Structures are given as structure tokens and as C-alpha cells.
Chain A
Amino acid sequence: MSLKPSMRTPLSRVRGLGSAHAGTDHFWVQRLTALSNAPLIVIFVGVVIATAGQDFATARAIVSHPAIAICLLLLIVSVCVHMRLGLQIVIEDYVHGQAAKFAATIANLFFVFAVGAALGFAVLKISFGA
């Protein structure tokens, strides 16, 4: 580490956020959820293959197995965080009007929460058998 004179406080250097006070968390969480997505998606593909063409009761029995339901819940959280961050980058790259960008960013958030809530509720309802 260099000991060049700097106007930044030691705490500021440790946090490493730079002048925008944000941003590295976006990059870091995107990579973190990419890592957690990979094994969970492999399990998800396995669940889809196992349930493909099966009748209602069989498919429900597969999805409601605790190990599978827990993996699906983890996948839902991981994927929702990952896809919110990903689409935010796409919006920032292509939507330039202030109003349109604002609307698209909010729509992204609402879509992700709706998908997450629907999937999470569905898995829980199937698991608890109501």
C-alpha cells in the first residue's frame, strides 16, 4: 500500500466506495448472486425434468419435498436480486429520457417483486399443502 498524501479519510478508503458513495455493491452482489444461481439453477432444471409430463399429484409431491422447496426458495431470492440488478444496467444503457428511465426503473422493481412474491407464495402453498 502506498502512503501517498490523500484528502480521503482512512474510513473512506476502507469503504472503497469512491465519490459516488455507491456502485461497488451492485457489481459485487451481481457476482455473488451469479455464483449462487449456478448450482440452484442446475437443481431447478432437474426439478423441471422430474415434473415434466407428470400429473398434478406427482408434480406437487416433488416440489413440496423440503429439500427441493428450500432450494427453490433460495433460487427465487437469488434470481430476483440478480435480475433486478441486470435489467437496471440494461435500462441505464438504453433508456435515456429522464421520465422514461424513472418509469422503467420502477417497473423493473415492481416486476421483480411481483415475480418473487408469486413464486415464493406458490412454493410455500404447495409445500404446506393448503
Chain B
Amino acid sequence: MADVKVPAQRPAFDRPLSPHLQIYRWSWTMAMSIFHRVTGVALYLGTALVVWWLVALATGPGAYETVRWAMGTLLGKLVLFGYSWALFHHMLGGLRHFVWDFGMAFERGPRMALAQGTLAGSLVLTLITWAIAYAVR
């Protein structure tokens, strides 16, 4: 074995790092790309809530009543509101990716319209959903 010395801790200054998020000026497309990823991870973790709801419904009236109570509280409603927004934002973001997959809307105008439309559309769809939910009660 050759006697090779491996430094235990790599010095912090030895290699330049590629520029990361804090370097760049925020743009719409960049923000919507980040939102898409964040909402995706939030929806992933939020499936635990869906599991809680459906397994409670499969278990019995007592378990279901607990979920119904929890989702009826202010905190529960806020979580559901956020979850529904994440759902619509991720869905519209996915549709935006479909448009790009077909090689369209890469120019500045359409690109910006899609990015801003994703945010506006997700908020509108969320509000419509909640308006329907309260209307049918």
C-alpha cells in the first residue's frame, strides 16, 4: 500500500462552487419551476393526510369522526386550503411542461404568460373549488 495522506476535512476554499439560487435575480419562470418542485414534495408528504382520511373511513365511525373534527378546525382548513392550492399549482405546472415538451412557448412572451398563468390559474381554481365546496354544503 502506498502511503497516501487523505485530509480528514476538505478545506472550504479548495474548489470554486457553481453559482446557486442566491446569485440570480428572481424571474417568473425560475419561481414557477421552484414552486413546481416544492408543491410536488408537499403533495408527496400530504398523501399521509389522504391515507389518514381513507383509512379512518375504512376503520369505523370513531376514527372517521376524529378526522372530520380535525379537518373542520381552522388549522385543518388552512392545511386543506394549502394542499388544494399545491394540487392545482402542480397540475397546471405539469400542463405547462407538456406545452414545452411539444417544443412550443419557449419565446419570452408565451413563456411569461404560461408562468404567470400557472400562478393565477392555480389561485383561481383553488378559490372556485372552495366556493363550490361551501355552496354545496
- What is A's interface to B at a CB cutoff of 8 Å? 31, 34-35, 37-38, 41, 45, 49-50, 52-53, 56, 59-60, 63, 79, 83, 86-87, 90, 115, 118-119, 121-123, 125-126
A56 to B51, Cβ gap below 8 A?
A: no
Main SS at interface, chain B: helix
Chain A residues whose C-beta falls within 8 Å of the C-beta of B37 in the assembled complex: 90
List 10 additional A-B contacts (Cβ < 8 Å) besides A53-B68, A83-B40, A115-B50.
Answer: A31-B97, A31-B98, A38-B95, A52-B137, A115-B51, A118-B54, A119-B50, A119-B51, A119-B55, A123-B58
- CB within 8 Å of A: which B79-130 residues: 84, 87, 91, 94-95, 97-98, 101, 129
Chain A residues whose C-beta falls within 8 Å of the C-beta of B41 in the assembled complex: 87, 90
B137 to A122, Cβ gap below 8 A?
A: no
A45 to B84, Cβ gap below 8 A?
A: yes
Q: B129 is contacted by which of A31, A34, A49 (Cβ under 8 Å)?
A: A49
B91 to A118, Cβ gap below 8 A?
A: no
Chain A residues whose C-beta falls within 8 Å of the C-beta of B72 in the assembled complex: 53
B44 to A56, Cβ gap below 8 A?
A: no
Chain B residues whose C-beta falls within 8 Å of the C-beta of A126 in the assembled complex: 54, 57-58
- Given A49-B132, A63-B57, also A115-B94 (CB < 8 A): no
Chain A residues whose C-beta falls within 8 Å of the C-beta of B51 in the assembled complex: 115, 118-119, 122
5 pairs, CB–CB < 8 Å, chain A vs chain B: A56-B65, A79-B47, A118-B51, A118-B54, A121-B55
Question: Which chain A residue shows the least CB distance to B40?
Answer: A86
Interface residue? B12 (CB, 8 A): no
Question: Which chain B residue shows the least CB distance to A63?
Answer: B57
Chain B nearest CB: distance from A75 CB in Å?
A: 10
The answer for the CA separation of A38 and B94 in the assembled complex, in Å, is 9
Chain A residues whose C-beta falls within 8 Å of the C-beta of B84 in the assembled complex: 45
The answer for the CA separation of A31 and B72 in the assembled complex, in Å, is 35
- CB within 8 Å of A: which B42-67 residues: 43-44, 47-48, 50-51, 54-55, 57-58, 60-61, 64-65
Chain B nearest CB: distance from A27 CB in Å?
A: 9
The answer for the CA separation of A121 and B56 in the assembled complex, in Å, is 12
The answer for the CA separation of A56 and B37 in the assembled complex, in Å, is 35
The answer for the CA separation of A86 and B94 in the assembled complex, in Å, is 12
Chain B residues whose C-beta falls within 8 Å of the C-beta of A83 in the assembled complex: 40, 43-44, 47
Chain B residues whose C-beta falls within 8 Å of the C-beta of A63 in the assembled complex: 54, 57
